[in-house]
């Protein structure tokens, strides 16, 4: 797990107070890794390349400029959906439960993850070092909320799949209860996987300054070698596979039902509208799956590769920092527009939204 540490210019890192090691990510931040307690490292002795400075500045400006755009669009959109859901007063319907949880989890991701990186790039201050509790809470919440968001999308897809393939069962009271139980399984599993992060992370003192990182070499090795792979599968790969397969079946059902309606109706205009609507919704379903994959998979793979990369020069670290910023912001865009996509897919919500907005203007 990579954590930024604010440093000065030339300084010596005394490791007598901790187990940690330091390798450069930029001129202003140090990445905490593992080494022996007896080592003393002078930062000026480490390899430095002036070509890294422009890349570091570009990385900072990318975070400073793009982060607020994604944050404003995502947070205001999600808050708007929460307000609309509260005014609909249809909390017994499972679809609205999912959209509500999705909006909350995505907002949490943007606040705990995106805003932290913006503050870090703009003010050279990491909110994780405010206290030991803020360190633990932020690390846990960013991973937990991302995982919940991914599996809420899976739950929404499951709900649409059952509705299209098993319509009679879908409208039964047992199905709603069963789907809520199914939803609880990935939430509990996410908590089990991410919960230890709250315990194993904390403030570590390095040269009279604190950094939020692992508090033991054992937890460091686990997170760097195993947890990054678990995160890759649980956050991106497994949810995508499930959503993609179910969306294939949903798309086939939509096409079949569209052909059946066309055979029963003689109105040519209706047939054209029905065909366009079916194709549009089918494309939207597949778009949600593909967009989810291309926004979550690259950054997850990046963290896996970065965890197993040992030797890093200043220039190489600067290039990795720039790549991370681009991929991370791309991932955050997923949490910024999730609700727009799924509100558009849900015909009932899409129909009610304008009426509710106009009523309260």
Q: What is the dihedral of CA 53, 57, 62, 65, to 10 degrees?
A: 180
Instruction: Give the other-Cβ count within 10 Å of 315's Cβ.
Output: 17
- 3-state secondary structure string, the chain? CCCCCECCCCCEEECCCCCEEEEECCCCEEEEEECCCCCEEEHHHCCCCCCHHHHHHHHHHHHHHHHHHHHHHHHHHHHHHHHHHHHHCCCCCHHHHHHHHHHHHHHHHHHHHHHHHHHHHHHCCCHHHHCHHHHHHHHHHHHHHHHHHHHHHHHHHHHHHHHHHCHHHHCCHHHHHHHHHHHHHHHHHHHHHHHHHHHHEEEEEECCEEEEEECCHHHHHHHHHHHHHHHHHHHHHHHHHHHHHHHHHHHHHHHHHHHHHHHHCCCHHHHHHHHHHHHHHHHHHHHHHHHHHHHHHHHHHHHHHHHCCCCCCHHHHHHHHHHHHHHHHHHHHHHHHHHHHHHHHCHHHHHHHHHHHHHCC
Q: Average pLDDT of the chain?
A: 76
Between residues 151 and 274, which one has the greater pLDDT? Answer: 151
pLDDT at 272: 54
Radius of gyration of the chain (CA): 24
Positive/negative CA dihedral, 345, 341, 106, 142:
positive
pLDDT at 295: 92
Nearest by Cα to 260 from 247, 274, 273, 246: 274
Beta bridge partners of 6: 29
In this predicted structure, the answer to whether residue 339 has a pLDDT above a threshold of 50 is yes
For 193-229, what is each residue's pLDDT tens digit? 999 999 999 999 888 888 998 888 888 889 888 999 9
pLDDT at 43: 39
- Exposed e or buried b for every residue in 191-226, given b needs 16+ CB within 10 A? eebbeebbebbbbbebbebbbbbbbeeebbebbbee
Q: Give CA–CA dist 188/184, Å, rounded.
A: 6
Instruction: Give the other-Cβ count within 10 Å of 2's Cβ.
Output: 17
Q: Give CA–CA dist 76/82, Å, rounded.
A: 10
In this predicted structure, the answer to whether residue 10 has a pLDDT above a threshold of 70 is no
pLDDT at 236: 94
Between residues 225 and 176, which one has the greater pLDDT? Answer: 225
Residue spans per domain, the chain: 52-205+216-359
In this predicted structure, the answer to whether residue 38 has a pLDDT above a threshold of 50 is no
Could you give the C-alpha distances from 145 to 117, 140, 340, in angstroms and in order? Answer: 16, 8, 18
Between residues 180 and 122, which one has the greater pLDDT? Answer: 122
- Is residue 43 within 8 A of residue 12, CB to CB? The reply is yes
Strands 12-14 and 40-42: antiparallel
Q: What is the pTM of this model?
A: 0.77
Please say whether the structural domain 52-205+216-359 has been given the CATH code 1.20.1070.10: yes
Mean pLDDT value across residues 297-308: 88
Q: Give CA–CA dist 339/311, Å, rounded.
A: 41
């Amino acid at each position: 797990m990579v954590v930024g540490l604010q440093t000065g210019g030339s300084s010596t890192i005394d490791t007598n107070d901790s187990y940690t090691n330091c390798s450069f990510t930029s001129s202003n931040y140090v990445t905490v890794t593992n080494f022996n307690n007896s080592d003393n490292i002078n930062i000026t002795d480490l390899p430095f390349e002036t070509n890294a400075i422009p890349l570091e500045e570009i990385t900072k400006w990318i975070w400073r400029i793009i982060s607020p755009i994604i944050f404003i669009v995502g947070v205001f959109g999600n808050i708007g959906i929460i307000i609309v859901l509260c005014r609909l007063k249809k909390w017994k319907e499972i679809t609205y439960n999912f959209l509500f949880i999705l909006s909350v989890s995505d907002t949490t991701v943007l606040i705990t993850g995106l805003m932290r990186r913006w503050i870090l790039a703009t003010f050279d201050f990491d909110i994780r070092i405010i206290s030991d509790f803020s360190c633990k809470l932020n690390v846990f919440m960013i991973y937990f909320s991302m995982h919940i968001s991914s599996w809420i999308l899976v739950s929404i897809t499951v709900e649409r799949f059952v509705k299209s393939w098993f319509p009679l069962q879908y409208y039964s009271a047992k199905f709603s209860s069963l789907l809520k139980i199914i939803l609880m399984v990935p939430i509990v599993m996410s908590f089990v996987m991410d919960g230890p992060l709250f315990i194993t992370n904390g403030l570590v003192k390095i040269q009279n300054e604190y950094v939020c990182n692992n508090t033991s070499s054992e937890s460091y090795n686990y997170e760097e070698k195993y947890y990054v792979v678990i995160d890759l599968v649980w956050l991106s790969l497994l949810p995508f596979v499930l959503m993609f397969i179910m969306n294939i079946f949903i798309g086939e059902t939509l096409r079949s039902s569209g052909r059946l309606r066309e055979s029963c109706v003689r109105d040519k205009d209706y047939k054209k509208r029905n065909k366009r609507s079916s194709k549009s919704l089918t494309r939207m379903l597949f778009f949600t799956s593909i967009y989810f994959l291309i926004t979550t998979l690259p950054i997850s793979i990046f963290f896996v590769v970065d965890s197993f990369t040992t030797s890093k020069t200043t220039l190489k670290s600067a290039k990795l920092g720039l790549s991370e910023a681009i991929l991370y912001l791309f991932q955050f865009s997923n949490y910024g527009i999730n609700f727009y996509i799924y509100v558009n897919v849900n015909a009932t919500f899409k129909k009610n939204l304008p009426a509710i907005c106009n009523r309260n203007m």
